Amino acid sequence: MKGVVWDGQKAELVDDLSVRKPGPGEVLVRIEAAGLCHSDLSVINGTIPYETPVVLGHEGAGVVEEVGEGVGNVRPGDHVVLSTLGNCGACEHCERGRPTMCRSTFGLRPQPFTWRGEPAYNFANISCFAEQAVVKANQCVPIPADVPLTSAALVGCGVLTGVGAVLQRAKVEPGSTVAVLGVGGIGLNVIQGARIAGAARIVAVDTNPAKEEAARLFGATDFVNPKDAPDQTAAIKAVIADSAPLGYDYVFECVGHPSLIQTSIAALSWSGTAVLLGVAPFGTKAEFSPFDLYLDKTIMGCRYGSSQPQRDVRRYIDLYRAGRLLLDELVTRTYPIADFHHAVEALEAGELARGVLTLVG
Ligand SMILES: NC(=O)c1ccc[n+]([C@@H]2O[C@H](COP(=O)([O-])OP(=O)(O)OC[C@H]3O[C@@H](n4cnc5c(N)ncnc54)[C@H](O)[C@@H]3O)[C@@H](O)[C@H]2O)c1
Ligand SMILES: [Zn+2]
Ligand SMILES: [Zn+2]
């Protein structure tokens, strides 16, 4: 079958990939659509170190083709959004409703694929830039068949991460002031999460002026391009200075850039919270003054929106069907999987909210 393999030198579409049968508790999914998230690029450019060969893609949706022994939550023919977690369901963290903190699966490197006679790794427990994937049953969340899979795919990472960071991790209160640094697929979902949470000011910040239109569509009340500002933090704080001169209640860093991590902390008001979503290159250090934190300020990391995928995917699909969560508008373009490189180029050129690869036909 076809799939995009990163071999440590190049990422290319191959057609000599195979995946093993689903074992007990596993599901074989025919992938129909998969979003290109920056984290896939981060494997290729070394920001996220990963063993090779690895099949890329971790934001997908498709149709259940076959289930292994003991699988009861999905049946062949079901449409599913895939979650990357595959948590054990039995540990203390799973029982406390925090599957993103399950220790027993994070960092595992399954090798369900075979490529040119060698085992190949899956990425983030999924690998959906391939025609088929084998995942754990609890990674499959069934959705109604009338939701377009090209839109549903984006729930699997961008929506769970961005909206979840607002609602589950930071728990933004109505009336808050929120800054969102980086308006890509993650930032747009933070923006719409903040809108759903009832934030009063949602200030989108991006060095690419073309991002303003989408930011406002998703709920931003203001847009700042700090590129030529002599003081980036001052430019971001100036937007709300009329009502909140000390800074923001919440700042979400959605790029993974050390200087923006510093800006996130510096732009906080007293008792404000900086949520770090962007994945900076492994080993990167960021500086801040501890003195800045004494006024009850908080710095939060956030994995995957601190999500509970079986609950949250259903909630987000319901919000989508109620017209309150935008999914179709996240899809700037679809590309047949053969045009993978065009999607990468467009993402790098800042042309996409999300590019979605299609695997059917
Ligand atoms: N924490 C998690 O669980 C999690 C999950 C998914 C993705 N991520 C990470 O989130 C980050 C964003 O992913 P994405 O898919 O939205 O990426 P993207 O490439 O779609 O968007 C990044 C945006 O940041 C903007 N940008 C770049 N440099 C900037 C700067 N100096 N100032 C302001 N804006 C700047 C770009 O113009 C772009 O709009 C990545 O680091 C990704 O690895 C984290
Ligand atoms: Zn992602
Ligand atoms: Zn667990």
Give the number of whichever ligand sits closest to the CA of residue 300.
1
If asked whether residues 33 and 71 sit together in one domain, one would say: yes
**Residue nearest atom 33 of ligand 1, based on CA coordinates:** 206
Coil vs helix vs strand at 280: coil
CA–centroid distance, residue 186 to ligand 1 (Å): 6
CA–centroid distance, residue 27 to ligand 1 (Å): 31
Which numbered atom of ligand 1 lies nearest the CA of 36?
15
Which numbered atom of ligand 1 lies nearest the CA of 256?
41
Cα(7)–Cα(11) distance, integer angstroms = 7
If asked whether residues 276 and 227 sit together in one domain, one would say: yes
If asked whether residues 279 and 176 sit together in one domain, one would say: yes
Picking from 21, 59, 19, 67, the residue whose alpha carbon sits closest to that of residue 40 is 59
Q: Could you say which DSSP state residue 360 is in?
A: -
Mean pLDDT of all residues in 231-248:
97
Picking from 197, 200, 199, 191, the residue whose alpha carbon sits closest to that of residue 159 is 191
Coil vs helix vs strand at 279: coil
If asked whether residues 106 and 179 sit together in one domain, one would say: no
Give the number of whichever ligand sits closest to the CA of residue 304.
1
If asked whether residues 134 and 172 sit together in one domain, one would say: no
pLDDT exceeds cutoff 70 at 361? no
User: 42-72 burial string, b = 16+ CB within 10 Å, else e?
Assistant: bbbeebbebeebbbbbbbbbbbbbebbeebe
pLDDT in the model for residue 107: 77
Structural domain of 186: 159-304
Q: Is 123 part of any domain? A: yes
Query: Residue 142's pLDDT band (boundaries 50, 70, 90)?
Result: very high
Give the number of whichever ligand sits closest to the CA of residue 90.
3
Q: Is 309 part of any domain? A: no
For the chain, the distance separating the N- and C-terminal CA atoms, rounded to the nearest angstrom, is 12
Picking from 340, 281, 349, the residue whose alpha carbon sits closest to that of residue 56 is 340
pLDDT in the model for residue 170: 98
If asked whether residues 40 and 170 sit together in one domain, one would say: no
**Residue nearest atom 40 of ligand 1, based on CA coordinates:** 278
pLDDT single digits (tens) 92-137: 999 999 999 998 777 788 999 999 999 999 999 999 999 999 999 9
Q: Is 176 part of any domain? A: yes
Q: Is 321 part of any domain? A: no
Number of compact structural domains in the chain: 2
**Residue nearest atom 3 of ligand 1, based on CA coordinates:** 304
Picking from 20, 17, 12, 31, the residue whose alpha carbon sits closest to that of residue 358 is 31
If asked whether residues 333 and 297 sit together in one domain, one would say: no
Q: Give the side-chain half-sphere CA count within 13 A for 174.
A: 1
User: 92-114 burial string, b = 16+ CB within 10 Å, else e?
Assistant: ebbeeebbbebeebeeeebbbbe
If asked whether residues 72 and 38 sit together in one domain, one would say: yes
Cα(185)–Cα(337) distance, integer angstroms = 19
Q: Is 310 part of any domain? A: no
pLDDT exceeds cutoff 90 at 333? yes
Burial class (CB in 10 A: 0-12, 13-18, 19+), 227: exposed
pLDDT single digits (tens) 341-353: 999 999 999 999 9
pTM equals 0.97
| 285: CATH | 3.40.50.720
If asked whether residues 178 and 63 sit together in one domain, one would say: no
Mean pLDDT of all residues in 45-49:
91
Residues with CB under 6 A from ligand 1: 37-39, 42, 157, 161, 181-187, 205-208, 211, 254-257, 260, 277-279, 302-304, 347, 350
If asked whether residues 46 and 163 sit together in one domain, one would say: no
Q: Is 313 part of any domain? A: no
Q: Is 228 part of any domain? A: yes
CA–centroid distance, residue 8 to ligand 1 (Å): 22
If asked whether residues 83 and 177 sit together in one domain, one would say: no
C-alpha triplet 32, 33, 39: angle, nearest 5°: 140
**For residue 155, what are the contacts with CB-CB under 8 A and spacing of at least 6?**
61, 81, 313, 316, 317, 327
Q: Is 317 part of any domain? A: no
pLDDT single digits (tens) 195-205: 999 999 999 99
pLDDT in the model for residue 172: 98
If asked whether residues 7 and 140 sit together in one domain, one would say: yes
| 65: CATH | 3.90.180.10
